[in-house]
Chain A
Amino acid sequence: MKKLLKEGYYLSRADRLAVANELDTTLEEWAMKGPYFHMTGKPVKAMKAKWMGKLQESKAMSKGSIPANYMDLVTEIKAMSDFAPEKHNGSGLKKPKRTQARDEKILTNGMNIENHEHEACVAYWEDPEGYLVDLLDNKIAACKSRMIKEWTTLFIADPTVASFPSDEDELIEFIVARPEYKNRVQREAESLEA
């Protein structure tokens, strides 16, 4: 068993508020779904899809057999003479703008990953640790961006709002301080009651 993100990941209060505005889970719960699959299942599946045919071809020529477990299969694929790592990266992912301190630690025990998944992961991603951080950063940036876009439109249309903060984190605090503000869980609970 290997571990990614051993040092965990740090959130600011505004990060957490923006995520809660959009997700009905915590960022940590979100990370253990899609990002976990990106680190574990996807590289193994992609490697098998790309190299299985060639492995079968070469094994057929040497009258060899194909291992029926992922650990040995990944090892065999990586040992092929023409195997080349993919080295995908997170280019295009966004970074959140932050002015608040990042004082809340999540994923405190990191993300566990099986050995064969790690073998595939390091062959698929250029920098698995960096990519995982990029995914978390990107999700926060996207949540902040949509929250701000939605509310600044409302503020501009509202004659009772004279101005709003330009700093993103301050603006998020300004939004959640509004009496009518509700995060996603609160909105959905209200919708169910109705």
Chain B
Amino acid sequence: MVTQNNVNASYTLGANRELANNAQPAFCAYNSSTDADQTGNGTLVTVDFDTEVFDQNADFAADTFTAPVTGRYYFVYQLELDDIAAANTSGNSFIVTSNRTFYHNYYDYGNCQTAAGIYAIQGNAQCDMDAADTSTIQVQINNGGADTVDVNGHATDMLTFYAGYLTV
């Protein structure tokens, strides 16, 4: 049912015919405080996204998106990593879904970071998911000798975030 200017309907038709669907699965969450010493020597860590900007179909919780219906979902993320050293010469970040894992490979982090040891990774993928499949973001930085790489967070700035929505 489409009702003009009726915010209680699933679809909202704006005064200028903008169509919004407030039941469409869509979420955006971010990390609100830095998680120190998460990886750096090969430790695979599931990234913390503890604060929601929106989750309009109640599908996101505990850093995990759960598909409410079978479909194709588009995910995008950024991870701001800190305290990267020259020795951190390789690493990966991943969109981990139930059906498959999408790899984003990076090499020579140690030479890519800023003087402050910061490097931001972005990734995205269109993922096939069955109803109740899950999706998380993981990161693994290697060769540092110890897990000294932080995953940055901020109370208001979206340094490390994860967002997604059902496309078809």
Chain A residues within CB distance 8 Å of chain B: 22-23, 30, 33-35, 37-38, 41-42, 45-46, 49, 90, 92-93, 135, 138-139, 142
Interface hits, B90-149 → A, CB 8 Å: 98-99, 130-134
- Nearest-CB residue, chain A, relative to B130: A142
Query: Using Cβ atoms and an 8 Å threshold, which residues of chain B touch A45?
Result: 55, 58, 61
CB-based contact B98/A38 at 8 Å = no
CB-based contact B131/A42 at 8 Å = no
Q: Give me 9 other A-B pairs in contact (C-beta within 8 A), A22-B99, A33-B98 excluded.
A: A33-B66, A34-B131, A37-B132, A38-B68, A41-B62, A42-B59, A42-B61, A42-B66, A93-B70
What distance in Å separates the Cβ of A77 from its nearest Cβ neighbour in chain B?
14
A22 to B55, CA, bound (A): 28
Q: A42-B66, A138-B70 are in contact. Are A34 and B133 (CB under 8 A)?
A: yes
A1 to B132, CA, bound (A): 23
A142 to B131, CA, bound (A): 10
What distance in Å separates the Cβ of A89 from its nearest Cβ neighbour in chain B?
12
Q: A34-B132, A42-B66, A92-B69 are in contact. Are A23 and B98 (CB under 8 A)?
A: yes
CB-based contact B67/A34 at 8 Å = yes
Q: A22-B99, A30-B98, A92-B69 are in contact. Are A37 and B131 (CB under 8 A)?
A: no
CB-based contact B131/A138 at 8 Å = yes
CB-based contact B58/A34 at 8 Å = no
- Nearest-CB residue, chain A, relative to B56: A49
